[in-house]
Amino acid sequence: MFKVIEKAKIAESTFLMKIDAPKIAFKRKAGQFVMLRIDEMGERIPLTIAGSDTIRGTITIIFQVVGNTTRHLSNLNAGDYILDVVGPLGHPTHIENYGTAVCIGGGLGIALVMPIAQALHEAGNRVISIISARNKDLLICEKEMQACSNEFMIATDDGSKGSKGFPTQILQELINKGTKIDIVFAVGPVPLMGAVSKLTKPYNLKTIVSLNPIMVDGTGMCGGCRVLIDNKPQFVCVDGPEFDGHQVNYDNLVQRLKTYISNDGDPRVQNVSKDSTCWKPPEERSGTAHKVHASMHATEGHAVIDQLAEGLSGAGTSAEKTGAKKMGAIPRQKMPEQDPVNRVKNFEEVPYGYTPEMARQEALRCLQCKKPLCRDGCPVSIDIPGFIKLIAEGDFLAAARKIKETNALPAVCGRVCPQEDQCEKVCIIGKKFKPVAIGNLERFVADYERNHNAVTIPELPAKTGYKVAIVGGGPAGLACAGELIKMGHDVTIFEALHKTGGVLVYGIPEFRLPKAIVESEVEYLRKLGVKIEVNAVIGKVQTVDELLENGFDAIFVGTGAGLPMFMGIPGENMNGVYSANEYLTRVNLMKAYNSQYSTPIAMRKNVAVIGAGNVAMDAARTALRLGAENVYVVYRRSRDEMPARVDEIHHGEEEGLQFRFLTNPIKILGDEKGWVSGLECVKMELGEPDDSGRRRPIPVKGSEFVLNVECVIMAIGNGPNPLVPSTTPDLQVNKWGNIVADIETCKTNKEGVFAGGDIVTGAATVILAMGAGKKAAKAIDEYIRSKKSNTVTSCCK
């Protein structure tokens, strides 16, 4: 929570607010911004830092009321609290002694250009400032701008103060008089920045503009702030917010700013609004009841299960093996699920889970192999036969604790791990029958323990005194933290978002992984003693080097692969084109599907999702739940090559997804207002296998056609977020930007720094990331203990 220290209205609908945020105040530089969320139901909005006081520990923001969120913010007073303030974010303004710098601020942009002008003045520049507004009553920060300027001029549209007209007229006069100008900074409405850039370009005057109004998230994970710079897409929050004004496509920028502005009345943009009959909040929908209609008590199991379980403990003899093989003929237990007709109307979890009877019945199918291949197939080495045996015996709590010996997130893994490609793939009984449903059983016991409030904390060893920082609170970081805390080390997770869990909270939908379950798993780690700092963007508020300097003995970087990729086809910057990251983050993390929350979301009747992995399926199934009538999954290969889990494909088919296999998008079509109106595609055929081992798709000449859609969601993969590598210059990365680390120890080339998960391997699965986190924990433990041992030995000498 961040306390409001001071608030003042400084012009019509414009407010100044000082907020207690000492860490941000100490680190911020001119040109940087914060992401702010007022309360739990609020949206995240970017606000440039107008100033800071390192002694008082405050930052100053100046904002204008333009919508519900800023209106809510304006109603806060000194003594009130803001839930989240994240920063400082963005690249700071490059400040040097250029010579003569002209700083132009229009409207609210005056407050944004002010810290730049102050920094330029302190660097020894001759600063010429021009501020403008519609009239004198809307002018702000006059005294502050005048104090840091060698020349100070005002322009108002109506001439009520200063020159009548626009700041570009004053700039033109300066140029005409032969005034020496080395650089121009312009901040304000897009038309103003565009006009300044157009004016200065013929004179080859370097012009810097700030594009922060388009930012959505601020941590580089959604792609919603992409703009065309020199005809190439860039992300404002990662690559900016400041850019060469002569390279900005202002027409596209104006268009992009309208992404979440209503288009009511335009029949070409089929919007399913939160007020329409096609969309209802979950609590008002039919089919939202989500109850398990069976007992959750083991004592109510069928007698036949108890009889079958009696001989399980000594499964080593030949006779017992024969009996166990007979058990293998028991049909695999299918989890009951919501009916597809009902579940597309809600965001409740699709499978209901096993009853105790079903769980014991399924557990009896396990052969209890002496050499269990399933355990070798598990990236976190769960004692699979051990916990399944306990389920068969009816000791569900013991089974849950057996899993937690090696896996701190069983309820998560039981739901989202691809067991069919790992532990279940090598299940011996699966050679003749269907494999044991290991994932379903893991989920069952984790849920049983939680639902019975029976989560216990294991006895932990004495504290070692070593401190480890975990950068990133996703699956790799959580797994690493869970292991290290059980080794006796002090562990702190630094998470950039306001919720811990990484892709578990922002990427995977509620209907696949309820967020209450993630929160429960994270709370378990807290009870073990893991400290968690949210809204902590490492690389900004602190760097990796600063963490090491501040007393951490080792660091694990598990920041994942959250930077969305696009195809690079014409029309991708149209309004109505989203990365799956942005689309899912709005729905999952920010709960945009619920009308009680402020975050907007695109709800269209006809949607195309590009890709065929789990992320594509998540986005497509989410679009259905937001009221879309037609959702097309467009994939350039065939169904056999789909990388998504079989269960997810099956669920999507049941729910009405329309698959367009052997189809490749080549162009996104739009109307004259810049909104998506269609997706041009070409049919494909499969040729010889490529480097991935899959048959290469080849375009079929003359097969082009158009899908009539108003929304296109790109789900073709993610790259590594560059924030940590870019602020840790001696950390080795490969040509794709992934951190280079040993696959077994997770050691990087930098002393004391380890890395694992998607930031190293590229986008993979939750369980593989967790496996990397476990490996890293073991290596970190060995490293810090040996480091201390070497230090003691050296001192003794």
Q: Is 531 exposed, middle or buried (0-12, 13-18, 19+ CB in 10 A)?
A: middle
For 458-508, the pLDDT digits (tens) are: 889 999 999 999 999 999 999 999 999 999 999 999 999 999 999 999 999
Domains and CATH numbers, the chain: 2-89 (2.40.30.10), 100-256 (3.40.50.80), 305-451 (1.10.1060.10), 467-563+735-793 (3.50.50.60), 567-716 (3.50.50.60)
CA distances from 88 to 46, 201, 327, 541 (A): 11, 31, 60, 6
Query: Structure tokens of 49?
Result: 């830092």
Question: How many Å is the maximal CA-CA distance in the chain?
Answer: 103
- Counting DSSP H helices and E strands in the chain, the numbers are 27, 32
Please tell me whether the peptide bond between 282 and the residue prior to it is cis, using omega within 30 degrees of 0: no
Place of tokens 């998504």: 644
| Helix or strand run (H / E) with residue 533 | strand 531-533
Compute φ and ψ for 306, nearest 5 degrees.
-60, -40
Alpha helices, DSSP H, located in 373-422: 373-376, 384-392, 396-404, 410-416
Q: Beta strand pairing status for 705-707 and 676-689? A: antiparallel
Give the residue among 631, 621, 641 at the shortest CA–CA distance from 684. 641
- Spatial contact of 423 and 385, defined as CB atoms under 8 Å apart: no
CA distances from 528 to 482, 490, 676 (A): 8, 10, 49
For 647-675, the pLDDT digits (tens) are: 999 999 999 999 999 999 999 999 988 89
Range ranked top by mean pLDDT from 248-262, 317-331, 688-702: 688-702
Query: Structure tokens of 346?
Result: 């809600």
Rounded distance, CA 339 to CA 319, Å? 43
> Residue range 515-531: average pLDDT?
94
Place of tokens 């480091």: 787
The mean of the pLDDT values for the chain is 88
- Spatial contact of 108 and 134, defined as CB atoms under 8 Å apart: no
Q: Given this model, what pLDDT does residue 259 score?
A: 76
Q: Given this model, what pLDDT does residue 326 score?
A: 61
> Residue range 409-418: average pLDDT?
92
Q: Given this model, what pLDDT does residue 290 score?
A: 36
Give the residue among 684, 685, 687, 665 at the shortest CA–CA distance from 611. 665
Give the residue among 680, 697, 701, 681 at the shortest CA–CA distance from 689. 697
pLDDT band at residue 359 using 50, 70 and 90 as cut-offs? very high
Q: Given this model, what pLDDT does residue 693 score?
A: 79
Place of tokens 């933290």: 481
Query: Structure tokens of 461?
Result: 């060893």
Q: Beta strand pairing status for 705-707 and 84-89? A: unpaired
Give the residue among 604, 667, 727, 715 at the shortest CA–CA distance from 272. 604
For 262-315, the pLDDT digits (tens) are: 544 444 344 444 443 334 444 444 433 333 333 333 333 444 444 444 544 444
Phi/psi region, residue 141 (left: phi>0; alpha: psi -120 to 50; beta: rest), is left
Query: Structure tokens of 261?
Result: 């502005």
Three-class secondary structure of residue 636 per DSSP: coil
